[in-house]
Amino acid sequence: MAADVHKKKGWEVPNGSLAPGDGQHTERSESPTPGLAQGTEPGAGQEGAMFVHTRSYEDLTSPEDGAAAARSPEERRGEPAEPSSMEQISKDFSELSTQLTGMALDLEEEMRQSKEGKLEPSPQTTRRDSVLSGKEEEDVTMDAWRMHRKHVFVLSEAGKPVYSRYGSEEALSSTMGVMMALVSFLEAEKNAIRSIHADGYKVVFVRRSPLVLVAVARTRQSEQEIAHELLYIYYQILSLLTWTQLNHIFQQKQNYDLRRLLAGSERITDNLLDLMAHDPSFLMGAVRCLPLAASVRDAVSTSLQQAKAKSLVFSILLSGNQLVSLVRKKDQFLHPIDLHLLFNLISSSSSFREGEAWTPICLPKFNSSGFFHAHISYLEQEMDLCLLLVSTDREDFFTVSDCKRRFQERLRRRGVHHALQEALRTPFYSVAQVGIPDLRHFIYKSKSSGLFTSPKIEAPYVREEEKERLLGLYQYLHSRAHNSSRPLKNIYFTGPRENLLAWVTSAFELYICYSPLGTKAGAISAVNKLMKWIRKEEDRLFILTPQTY
C-alpha cells in the first residue's frame, strides 16, 4: 500500500540539532587533529547516507520531544559550546523546578559509593517509600524486586498498567496509580513532572499521550539518557500497534487495558531493555556493521539490490545486531531507531530461526501511522545471518519470499557464500589489531553515515558487571558531551581503573578507553593513531557505498 510510505524529507533538517554548523572554529587548540568536515570523516558514506540524518539522541529528544532535559549546572571539564536554541527551552518553568531537585552528579563520588556498596541496597528512606508506596503489598520477592537496578513501567493515562519490567502488572496497579497521580497533580498546575531525584535513585517520567512511561533507576545514567530509553520503549510499543491505532483505542475507551493488544510482546520489550544495557548502539544512536571485506559486502549488496520487488522498501541483512548490508528504495531513508527496533525484534525471538515469518510492523520514525510487512528469515539454520525484507503490501508474501530465494541464488552464483561464512566466524575484531598497547577499547561514530565501530570488549572487562561498568563510563561521557544546556567537545577522564577520552566534533564522535597508567599526551597520540587506523580500515568497518534498488 503506497499510502503507507510517506516521503519524509522534513527530517533532514540540515542543522536542526545542537551541534554547531561546522567543526572548524569550535575545535580546541589542543585538538589532536584538525577537525574533519562532516562527510569526510572515516566511515562517512561516499554516495550519501542510508539513514535519516541524525546526530545522536538529540534527535530523539528534540524537537518532537522539545522539552529536553536541562540539568543543573555541573562542573565543566571542557569548553562550552555555542549557545543553542535549546537553551531557550531551559527557561521553561518546569525545568527550573527540576533543577531545584537536581543533585550535582559527581561521578568520582558516585563511583566510590558504588564500589563500596556494590550489592548493598541503599537504605530505604521514607521519601522513596512514599513514591513507591504500594510495593509493600507485593509478594515474598519484594526485596529481590526492589534490588533491581532499573525498573520500567508503562501505564495509560487512566492509570492502568500496561507494562512492568519486573513483577506482574496487576500487583503493581496501585503503584502505577500513584505514578499517574503524581503526573496529574503537576499537570493540574500546568506543569510537568520530569524526574524525582532521591537517595541515589532517579525516577524519570516521559509523557507520550495516551501513555506515561516511568523509570526508577539507580544506574549512573543521566536523566536525559533514561528518558531516551523510555522513548525507545514507547517507540517499541508504537512498532507493534502504530500511533494511529494506539490513539484511536484510547479515544474510544479511555480505560482500555492495552495489555490485551500487547499480549506476547513482553519478551520483545524486556529484550530491548536488556540490549540497551549492553549494546552501545542505542547510546550512540547509530548502527554497527559486521566487519567484512568491501568486495564481499559489495557482492552481497548487489545481490540484495537485484532481488527486488515493487513493494519492497528496505532489504536488510544482519548478523547478531550488526548490519551486513542495507538496500533501500530511492528517497526512502531508514531511521537508526527504526533499525534498532527491527534488530531487537529479531534478537528477541527464536521463532524466526525456522521457516519464514511474515509480520506487520510499524517503523515509528518512518511513519507512525501505518504498518509495513516484514519478511523475516534466516538464510541457513546454522548461520547467524538474518534477512529482513520490508514490504508495503500485506498480500505480498510470496513475491517477497521469492526475493529471498533470488537473493540466495545470486549469492551462491557470486561465490561469496564462503567469504561471508568466514566473516561470521569473527564478528568482532580485537583492539590489538590497532597496535596501540595502552588502548583497551573505543567507540567511533561517523555522524554522516550513522554508523559506528567498536572492537570486542576484552580483558580486563571480562565479567558482565565489568562490561556494564565500561558502558556506564561511556554513558557518562556521552551524557556530558551531549548535555543539552552545556555540551562538551573534549572530555578527559581519569579514573582509578582506566582513563577515558571523549572527542565530539560535528563529523564524528570518539570515545577511547585506555590504561590508567597512560598519560594525557599518550592518549592524544593514541587518538591520532587510531583515527589513521580507522581510516585505513574504513571500507571493512563501514558501509561506504549504500545501495538503492
DSSP-based three-state secondary structure for 458: coil
Indicate the residue among 54 and 265 with the shorter CB distance to other proteins.
265
Residue 380 contacts other proteins per CB under 8 A: no
Distances (CA, A) of 484 to 80, 84, 86: 11, 9, 7
State the cell numbers at 192: 510537568
Alpha-carbon torsion 215, 221, 224, 230, what sign? negative
Residue 398 contacts other proteins per CB under 8 A: yes
Residue 415 contacts other proteins per CB under 8 A: no
- Taking the complex as a whole, the smallest distance from the CB of residue 321 to other proteins amounts, in Å, to 17
Residue from 70, 206, 226, 262 that binds other proteins (CB under 8 A)?
Answer: 262
Residue 243 contacts other proteins per CB under 8 A: no
DSSP secondary structure letters along 64-91: TT-----PPP---SS-B----THHHHTT
Residue 352 contacts other proteins per CB under 8 A: yes
Residue 174 contacts other proteins per CB under 8 A: no
DSSP secondary structure letters along 99-152: HHHPPP--HHHHHHHHHHTSSSPPP--HHHHHHTTTGGGS-TTHHHHHH-SEEE
Segment interacting with other proteins (CB under 8 A) among 74-82, 294-302, 354-362, 379-387 = 354-362
Indicate the residue among 283 and 361 with the shorter CB distance to other proteins.
361
Residue from 1, 37, 171, 379 that binds other proteins (CB under 8 A)?
Answer: 1
Residue from 20, 360, 427, 522 that binds other proteins (CB under 8 A)?
Answer: 360
Indicate the residue among 4 and 225 with the shorter CB distance to other proteins.
4
Residue 261 contacts other proteins per CB under 8 A: yes
Indicate the residue among 17 and 377 with the shorter CB distance to other proteins.
377
State the cell numbers at 63: 524537537
Residue 382 contacts other proteins per CB under 8 A: no
- Taking the complex as a whole, the smallest distance from the CB of residue 340 to other proteins amounts, in Å, to 17
Residue 259 contacts other proteins per CB under 8 A: no
Residue 381 contacts other proteins per CB under 8 A: no
Nearest in space to 317 (alpha carbons), one of 397, 389, 419: 389
Cis amide prior to 516 (ω within 30 degrees)? no
Residue 166 contacts other proteins per CB under 8 A: no
- Taking the complex as a whole, the smallest distance from the CB of residue 409 to other proteins amounts, in Å, to 10
Contact 520, 299 (CB under 8 A): no
> Torsions phi, psi of 203, nearest 5?
-105, 115
Site string for other proteins, 264-293 (x = CB under 8 A): xx-x--------------------------
Distance CA 314, CA 130 (A): 49
Residue 397 contacts other proteins per CB under 8 A: yes
Scored b (16 or more CB within 10 A) or e, 394-416 reads eebeebbbebbebbbebbeeeeb
- The site for other proteins (CB under 8 A) is made up of 1, 3-4, 240-242, 244-245, 248-249, 252, 260-265, 267, 345, 349-352, 354-360, 370-371, 373-374, 376, 393-399, 401-402, 405
